[in-house]
Structure 1
Amino acid sequence: MCECGETLYELCEAGGLRFIRRTICKASSTMVSEMIGMSPAEVELL
């Protein structure tokens, strides 16, 4: 992915639910975490 120490956010949708995925890139590792799926209306408020 990247080795520049950036944090990336993605708005994803699957099965009618939306969630935000966060990817933290470091020189030695990449960590991915996702929030619990919510309705599109709830995620739009975020």
Structure 2
Amino acid sequence: MNGGTNRTLPCDWCHAPVPQPRGRWRTRRYCSKAHRRRNRVVEAVGNFLDNL
């Protein structure tokens, strides 16, 4: 029962295949730092607008 070595999941932002690390518990959800940052900005704006 070792971790999957050739796993890929789609990027949450652009749906490009993201190779996953060997670790069992961690998953990479974005193909780049820019997409991770962009997702955080979009969530922050959404939270701000919800609180108005």
Q: Same fold (TM over 0.5)?
A: no
Q: Which has the larger radius of gyration?
A: 2
Give 1 or 2: higher strand fraction. 1
- Which one scores higher on RCO, CA 8 angstroms, separation ≥ 6? 1
TM-score, length-normalised on structure 1? 0.29
Give 1 or 2: higher helix fraction. 2
